[in-house]
Amino acid sequence: MNDLNVELNKKNKELSESLKEMDSIRNHLKNILESMNMGVVAVDLDGKITVFNNAAQKITSLKSGNVIGKYYKDVYSELIDESSTLLDTLKDCKEYENEEKEIRNTEDLIIPVEYSTSLVKNEHGEVLGAVEMFVDMTEIKKLEEEVQRARTLAALGEMAANVAHEIRNPLGGIGGFAALLERDLEIDDPRRNLVKKIIEGVSRLNRIAANLLFYTRPLEIKFQKQDIIKTVDDVLSLMEVELEQEERNIEIVRDFMPDCKEIRFDPEVFQQVLLNIFKNAADSMEDKGKLTVRVKEKNEGKNLVISVEDNGKGMSLSVQRKLFNPFFTTKPDGTGLGLAIAKKIVDIHKGEIKVKSEEGKGTLFEIKLPV
């Protein structure tokens, strides 16, 4: 009898340890499942949801407590427009691999996902259900669009550079002959004004061609350690002279950090960035307003931020999205290359340029540079 009790105690102990080990494995697998960046949804033979991990909750905006135990088709009927591939896998044993579809989450956002499905079987090969794994492709799709946009812009840039190069010679000839014609006409000759219009038009086309070549060709940047605050102040002083000559009542406010700040940049090239942004800010205020320029350190001195704020007419969100695209402009006589060139120069300096604006409330440009 004692031997039997000893044997039973031994078996109970072994069984208890086995159960603990199974619980440990189960918890470990559950932790892995919940830590995955890929959404996982599993259903049993009746089509009821048995697994719904954290990633699946995040992508669909559904809560696992609200869907576990419910029929998959009822939960997803409003989220997926097409027939359910997971239920097709369960019904027809048709497995899907690396397919794409769209899910409309509970916040009514369309989420592109890549998914795969497979049957869940036990060790005897009997089907217990089906599982679907899916990943949010939103960021990847955005990157693909950016790459395609970059390729398109590169092709357009190459073509524009060739066109700009080819038209500069005939433009020079037209401008030269127009200047000779103007010289030969009497000062009071009414035709003289027409010739001036030709010369002005040629001059504008030359500027556009020069900007095109500047934008499309590689820039030779001469980095040197200089005080960025002095460069900003010099360009602002130039702006003040121009505004005074044009009799525009625009107040310029300087808010600079107290100490000079030397960073590696090309002062001559970077002046173009500042001048473009300052002029855009002044143009948005027309003849009266306030232009505030700040130079501050951020991220514990790792970055320097130049902010340019105006109280002009502002711009819509759709305009802000296109603002740095080449040839996009809201000005009747603009070329749409000024801010595109500014962004190119900032990018070469390994910096970042952003814009925040609201119609009727002004605009804020921010240039962040590494220190």
> Per the structure block, which two tokens stand in for 92?
């027809």
Kindly state the average pLDDT of the residues 277-281.
91
Is residue 217 scored above 90 in pLDDT?
no
Amino acid found at 328: F
d(CA 35, CA 29) in angstroms, rounded, equals 10
**Alpha helix stretches (DSSP H) within the chain:** 2-35, 54-60, 64-67, 72-76, 85-92, 138-184, 191-216, 228-245, 267-285, 317-322, 338-348
Domains 23-136 and 224-370 share a fold: no
> Per the structure block, which two tokens stand in for 366?
């921010």
User: At the topology level of CATH, where does 224-370 sit?
Assistant: Heat Shock Protein 90 (3.30.565)
Residue 93 pLDDT class (50, 70, 90 cuts): confident
- 158 vs 313, more confident: 313
Give me the phi and psi of 352, to 5 degrees please. Answer: -145, 135
Whole-angstrom CA distances from 240 to 54, 247, 252 are 57, 10, 8
Q: Is 106 helix (H, G, I), strand (E, B) or coil?
A: coil
List the domain boundaries for the chain. 23-136, 142-216, 224-370
Is residue 293 scored above 60 in pLDDT?
yes
Residue 107 pLDDT class (50, 70, 90 cuts): confident
Kindly state the average pLDDT of the residues 5-10.
62
Domain 23-136 has CATH 3.30.450.20: yes
Lowest-confidence pick of 116-130, 151-165, 217-231, 239-253: 151-165
Query: The pTM is what?
Result: 0.54
Whole-angstrom CA distances from 337 to 5, 217, 237, 242, 261 are 91, 13, 24, 21, 29
* 179 Cβ contact list (under 8 Å, min separation 6): 199
- Please write down the HEC assignment for all residues of 138-166: HHHHHHHHHHHHHHHHHHHHHHHHHHHHH
Is residue 28 scored above 60 in pLDDT?
no
Residue 170 pLDDT class (50, 70, 90 cuts): confident
> What confidence tens digit (pLDDT) does each residue in 178-203 have?
888 888 888 888 888 888 888 888 88
For residue 119, the cross-strand partners are: 130
**Sheet hosting strand 352-358, strand order edge to edge:** 249-256, 288-298, 303-310, 362-370, 352-358
Residue 168 pLDDT class (50, 70, 90 cuts): confident
Query: If you compute the radius of gyration of the chain from its CA atoms, what whole number of angstroms results?
Result: 33
> Per the structure block, which two tokens stand in for 102?
């769209």
